[in-house]
Amino acid sequence: MIRALPLLLLLSLSACGLRPLYSGGEGGATVQLLRSVSVAPIDGRSGWLLRNALNDRLQSGGDATSAFRLEIELDDQIAGFGVRRDDTITRERRTLRARYRLVDTSNGAVVLDATAGSDVGIDVVSSEYATVAAENSALERLSEILADQITARVALYANRTEPKAK
């Protein structure tokens, strides 16, 4: 009975309508849509990092003939929240939030409007150089996390809008 449970589970999943997000591999509709997305320039260092991370994931040429354009507005904040008796900060939280819109370049319609965000804690140490390095490292990691979130959401949009095989 225990050996039959995984098989039963697999058979029940096939009937529930689940299908792979990246079905069809390199030639699938989801991958093709992701490759047809260009990322508009984003202001600041955090924008540069996020745009590069997105271009790596989307593998798009980023040319002017792209079918979709991804427009992103970032909010990057660092706030101190661990305070000693002498009013020095011992801990910071870096938060990176993005509002992004996927625009159909053929007619200018916004087909996806959503947000993504994450935060990370940073220890503030006696060395100012180490603290700045930790803040920069946190920004790099947050850019990667947001790029993953945005790519997954755009892929989900592509998967939901692709024509269903009959």
Cα distances from 23 to residues 19, 20, 54, 107, 127, in angstroms, run 7, 5, 21, 28, 50
What does pTM read for this prediction? 0.81
Whether residue 153 lies inside any domain: the answer is yes
Residues forming beta bridges with residue 98, ordered by sequence position = 74, 116
pLDDT in tens, 96-106: 999 999 999 99
How far apart CA 92 and CA 67 sit, in angstroms, is: 40
Distance CA 113, CA 110 (A): 7
Per-residue model confidence as pLDDT tens digits over 100-151: 999 999 999 999 999 999 999 999 988 999 999 999 999 999 999 999 999 9
- Which of the four pLDDT bands, split at 50, 70 and 90, describes residue 66? confident
Q: Which residue has the higher pLDDT, 24 or 164?
A: 24
Average pLDDT score over the chain: 84
| CATH number of the domain where residue 93 is located | 3.30.160.150
User: Could you tell me if residue 155 is left (phi over 0), alpha (psi between -120 and 50 degrees) or otherwise beta?
Assistant: alpha
Structural domain harbouring 107: 20-161
Q: Is residue 39 part of a domain?
A: yes
Position 96 in a domain: yes
pLDDT of residue 87: 81
Residue 47 lies in a domain: yes
